[in-house]
C-alpha cells in the first residue's frame, strides 16, 4: 500500500560524532519527528547529513520525509508505523526510522512543538524482525527514551518495511528470503540480516609471512542505496569468495558474517563498521543487477583541496591533462618494488592537481589525455602544495556516465581547452605558506574601504579582463640566471649585462610587467601583473610576444586581444601610490587563476 510523502515536525536533534583520521570523520544524527499525534525516533542516513551541515534542519522545522527505511525492534504495545492505526497487541516492536532523504520546508519556519504527540511503537502481526538495538538509538536520556530492564535476546527473523515506491533496494524477487537490510543499519547489534549490494571495489590478494604464521586476505567495498561498507576475507575465505565476488556485480550477502569496528586506516568509507566473511557466510549473485546504484561519489573540486587537511580522504573528478610514464620505486621498509604513475587532473575552477596511482592500476592505465577521470578514495598530501594518491581501497572510473563528468566534458570542449591551469604548489609559494588567508572582495569594496591607503593589504577579487596595455612597457629584458630576474642592459655589442650577477648574456629573457584593467559588477580598476600572472592571462611567454612584435605585422596585437574577456580570480597585494602628484590605486596580483573563458 502506498502513502503520500509524510510531512512532520522535527522535535529533537542529537549529534553522534565518529571522527575518522584526517579530520573528515562521519557525523551521525538522531532526530525525533512528529506528525502532531505521534513522534518517532529516527537516524539520519549519512547521505542526508547535508541538511545539518547546511544549517537547514533545526528544532521545530517542518520537513517532508521523501525517502525512509523503517526498522523494528522488540518493545511494548504500540500502533502501526506510518498508518497510525491502533492494532491488537500481538507481537509488539518499537520502531526506529532511518531517513534517507528529506526536505526542509523553510517557508514554514521553526514553530514551537505542535500538539501533544505521544511516543509511537509498532506491532508486527505476521512477520518478525531482528532488533537494531544498542545505545545508538535507544540510549537513556534521548527524547522519550526510558530505561528498560535487560531482556534475554531471542533469535528472530529480520523484516524490512519499505518507505517509498518499490520498497528499499527495488525488486527483491529471486531471493527466497526477500528480507533485505540496509547497509546503513548494519551493526554488531544486528543479528540476522541479508543485504543486497554491488561490489564497487575488489582488491588484489595480499599475502603475509610472519613468525606466527602466514596467510592472505582481500577486501571489497559493498554499496546499496543507503551507504557503503567494507568487507574482508581471510585465508580460507579468500579461496571461497575471491572468484565469486566480481567488481560491478550485485549480490545477496547473509549472516553469519562478523561485524566489527571499521579500521579507518585501511578504508576510505564513512561507515562506522566493516564486515569479516566467515566460513558459513552466504553469498549469492542476484538475478536483478540493475536495482542497486553504481559507485557513489562525494566530490571535492580541485580548488577546495587547499582547505582540506593533510591525510584526509576525498573523491575527485577532472579532465586528464597529462599522463606520465610508469616508474618503479622501492619500499624503504620492505624493499619491495612498486609501480606508480603520475597523472594531472584539471577542472573548471582553473586548478590542476597531481594524482598518483599504484600497482596494477598504474601499469594497466590506458586513458587518453582529455578523458574525464573520477577517483573515489584518494589521500591528500601537502607535498608540492597539494597532491593526491589513490588508496588501495579506492576506485577509478574513466569517462563515467555521471552528471559531473558530462558537465566537465562540456566545459572543457567549449572553453577549458584553451585555459592555463594553476597548481596548489604555486599558491603555497605565494602566501598560504605564511598562514595568511586573503579575504574575497568586490572591486567596489576595495575602493569603498580604501584598501592599501595606509598599510599593505592582501585580498582576492574575481574579475574579467577588459583591457591590456600593449605599449613597449608590457615586458622588460631580464637576467637569464635562475632566481635573479633583474633587468639587464644592452651593451651594444650583442650582449646584455646583469649588474647584480656581473655577467654578460648573449640574449635576455623577457618578463611581463603589464597594466591590466579588470571589471566586475561593482566597478573596474587597474592591476599590475608580473610574469607568472601575465603568462596565465596571455597564454604565451613574454619572449613569444616580443618575437611577434619584432615581425612588425601587428600580430602581437592579436595576442593581446586573446587575453581579453578572461574571468580570473586575482590574489592581490594592494597599496596606494602617487603618480604625477595624484594618488593612484595599484594592485599587484601574485597569481590570477582562470575560472572561465567568456
pLDDT of residue 565: 87
Residues whose CB is less than 8 angstroms from the CB of residue 248 and which lie 6 or more positions away in sequence, other chains included:
198, 199, 200
pLDDT in tens, 113-133: 888 888 765 433 333 333 333
For residue 155, pLDDT beyond 60: no
Asked if residue 505 lies in contact with residue 485, where contact means CB atoms within 8 angstroms, the answer is: no
Quick one: CATH architecture of 185-285?
Beta Barrel (2.40)
Measure Cα distances from 375 to 348, 361, 384 in Å. Answer: 17, 12, 20
Task: Check for a shared fold between 7-159 and 303-418.
Answer: yes
The lowest-confidence range among 41-55, 90-104, 240-254 is 90-104
Region for 109 from its dihedrals, namely left if φ exceeds 0, alpha if ψ lies in -120 to 50, beta otherwise: left
| Domain 438-597 sits in CATH 3.40.50.2300 | no
Domain definitions of the chain by residue range: 7-159, 185-285, 303-418, 438-597
Q: How far apart are CA 306 and CA 531, in angstroms?
A: 23
Q: Say what percent of the chain tops pLDDT 70.
A: 76
351-404: pLDDT as tens digits: 889 999 988 889 989 899 999 999 988 888 876 668 899 887 788 889 988 889
Can you give the pLDDT at residue 26?
A: 60
Q: How confident is the model at residue 156 (pLDDT cuts 50, 70, 90)?
A: very low
- Cis amide leading into 318 (omega within 30): no
Q: CB neighbours of 532 closer than 8 A, spacing ≥ 6?
A: 426, 590, 591
Contact call for residues 223 and 235 (beta carbons, < 8 A) = no
The helix (run of H) or strand (run of E) holding residue 238 is helix 236-241
* DSSP-derived 3-state class of residue 240: helix
DSSP state of 305: G
The predicted structure's pLDDT at residue 84: 39
Mean pLDDT throughout 79-85?
Answer: 39
Is pLDDT at 72 greater than 80 in this prediction? no
The whole-number average pLDDT for the span 197-221 is 87
CA proximity to 545, closest of 476, 456, 488, 461:
476
CA dihedral 415, 418, 419, 420 (to 10 degrees): 170
Report which DSSP code applies to 250. Answer: E
**Most confident segment among 160-174, 398-412, 566-580:** 398-412
| The pLDDT value given to residue 476 | 92
| Reported confidence tier of residue 558, pLDDT bands at 50, 70, 90 | confident
What's the mean per-residue pLDDT of the chain?
Answer: 76
CATH number belonging to domain 7-159: 2.40.50.140
pLDDT above 80 (res 414): yes
How confident is the model over 560-568, as a mean pLDDT?
A: 87
Q: Does the structure show a pLDDT above 70 at 148?
A: no
Sign of CA dihedral 115, 118, 119, 124: negative
213-266 residue pLDDT tens: 889 999 998 988 888 899 999 989 999 999 999 988 999 999 889 999 888 777
Please answer whether residues 220 and 201 qualify as being in contact, where contact means their C-beta atoms are separated by less than 8 angstroms.
Answer: yes
Task: List the CATH code of the domain at 303-418.
Answer: 2.40.50.140
What is the pTM (predicted TM-score) of this model?
0.44
- Can you tell me the distance from the alpha carbon of 259 to that of 190, in angstroms, rounded to the nearest whole number? 9
* Mean per-residue pLDDT, 60-81: 64
Lowest mean per-residue pLDDT among 179-183, 196-200, 246-250, 575-579? 575-579
Phi, psi of 549 (to 5 degrees): -65, -35
Amino acid at each position: 500500500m502506498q502513502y503520500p510523502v509524510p510531512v512532520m515536525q522535527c522535535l529533537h536533534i542529537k549529534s553522534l560524532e565518529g571522527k575518522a583520521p584526517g579530520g573528515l570523520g562521519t557525523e551521525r544524527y538522531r532526530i525525533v519527528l512528529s506528525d502532531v499525534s505521534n513522534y518517532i525516533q529516527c537516524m539520519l542516513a549519512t547521505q542526508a547529513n547535508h541538511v545539518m551541515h547546511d544549517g537547514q534542519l533545526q528544532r521545530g522545522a517542518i520537513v517532508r520525509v521523501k525517502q525512509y527505511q523503517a526498522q523494528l525492534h522488540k518493545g511494548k504495545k504500540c500502533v502501526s508505523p506510518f498508518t497510525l492505526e491502533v492494532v491488537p497487541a500481538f507481537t509488539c516492536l518499537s520502531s526506529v526510522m532511518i531517513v534517507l532523504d528529506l526536505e526542509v520546508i523553510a517557508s514554514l519556519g521553526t514553530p514551537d512543538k505542535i500538539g501533544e504527540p505521544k511516543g509511537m511503537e509498532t506491532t508486527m502481526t505476521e512477520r518478525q524482525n531482528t532488533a537494531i538495538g544498542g545505545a545508538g538509538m535507544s540510549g537513556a536520556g534521548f527524547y522519550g527514551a526510558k530505561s528498560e530492564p535487560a531482556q534475554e535476546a531471542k533469535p528472530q527473523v529480520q523484516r524490512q518495511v519499505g518507505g517509498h515506491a518499490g520498497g528499499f533496494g527495488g525488486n527483491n524477487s529471486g531471493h527466497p528470503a526477500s528480507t533485505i537490510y540496509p547497509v546503513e543499519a548494519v551493526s554488531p547489534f544486528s543479528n540476522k540480516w541479508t543485504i543486497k549490494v554491488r561490489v564497487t571495489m575488489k582488491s588484489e590478494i595480499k599475502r603475509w609471512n610472519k613468525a606466527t604464521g602466514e596467510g592472505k586476505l582481500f577486501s571489497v567495498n559493498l554499496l546499496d542505496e543507503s551507504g557503503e561498507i567494507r568487507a574482508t576475507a581471510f585465508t580460507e575465505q579468500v579461496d571461497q569468495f575471491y572468484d565469486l565476488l566480481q567488481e560491478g556485480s550485485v549480490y545477496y550477502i547473509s549472516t553469519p558474517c562478523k561485524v566489527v569496528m571499521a579500521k579507518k586506516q585501511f578504508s576510505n568509507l564513512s561507515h562506522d563498521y566493516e564486515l569479516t566473511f566467515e566460513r558459513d557466510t552466504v553469498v549469492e549473485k542476484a538475478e536483478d543487477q540493475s536495482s542497486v546504484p553504481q559507485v557513489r561519489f562525494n566530490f571535492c573540486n580541485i580548488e577546495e583541496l587547499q582547505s582540506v587537511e593533510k591525510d584526509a580522504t576525498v573523491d575527485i573528478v577532472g579532465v586528464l591533462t597529462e599522463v606520465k610514464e610508469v616508474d618503479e620505486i622501492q619500499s624503504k621498509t620492505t624493499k619491495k618494488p612498486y609501480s606508480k604513475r603520475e597523472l594531472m587532473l584539471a577542472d573548471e575552477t582553473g586548478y590542476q592537481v597531481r594524482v598518483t596511482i599504484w600497482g596494477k592500476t598504474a601499469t594497466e592505465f590506458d586513458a587518453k589525455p582529455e578523458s574525464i577521470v573520477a577517483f573515489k578514495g584518494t589521500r591528500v598530501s601537502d607535498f608540492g602544495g597539494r597532491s593526491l594518491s589513490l588508496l588501495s581501497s579506492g576506485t577509478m572510473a574513466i569517462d563515467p556516465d555521471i552528471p559531473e563528468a558530462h558537465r566537465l566534458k562540456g566545459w572543457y570542449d567549449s572553453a577549458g581547452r584553451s585555459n592555463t591551469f594553476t597548481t596548489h604548489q604555486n599558491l603555497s609559494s605565494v602566501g598560504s605558506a605564511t598562514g595568511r588567508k586573503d579575504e574575497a572582495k568586490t572591486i567596489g569594496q576595495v575602493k569603498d574601504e580604501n584598501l592599501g591607503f595606509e598599510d599593505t593589504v592582501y585580498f582576492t577579487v574575481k574579475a574579467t579582463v577588459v583591457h591590456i596595455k600593449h605599449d613597449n612597457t608590457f615586458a622588460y629584458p631580464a637576467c637569464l640566471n635562475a632566481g635573479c630576474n633583474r633587468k639587464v642592459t644592452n651593451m651594444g655589442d650583442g650582449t646584455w649585462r646583469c649588474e647584480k650577477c656581473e655577467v654578460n648574456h648573449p640574449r635576455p629573457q623577457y618578463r611581463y610587467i603589464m597594466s591590466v584593467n579588470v571589471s566586475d559588477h561593482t566597478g573596474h580598476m587597474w592591476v599590475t601583473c608580473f610574469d607568472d600572472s601575465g603568462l596565465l592571462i596571455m597564454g604565451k611567454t613574454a619572449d613569444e610576444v616580443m618575437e611577434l612584435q619584432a615581425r612588425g605585422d601587428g600580430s602581437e596585437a592579436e595576442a593581446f586581444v586573446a587575453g581579453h574577456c578572461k574571468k580570473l580570480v586575482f590574489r592581490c597585494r594592494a597599496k596606494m601610490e602617487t603618480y604625477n602628484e595624484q594618488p593612484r590605486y595599484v594592485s599587484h596580483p601574485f597569481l590570477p587563476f582562470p575560472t572561465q573563458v567568456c
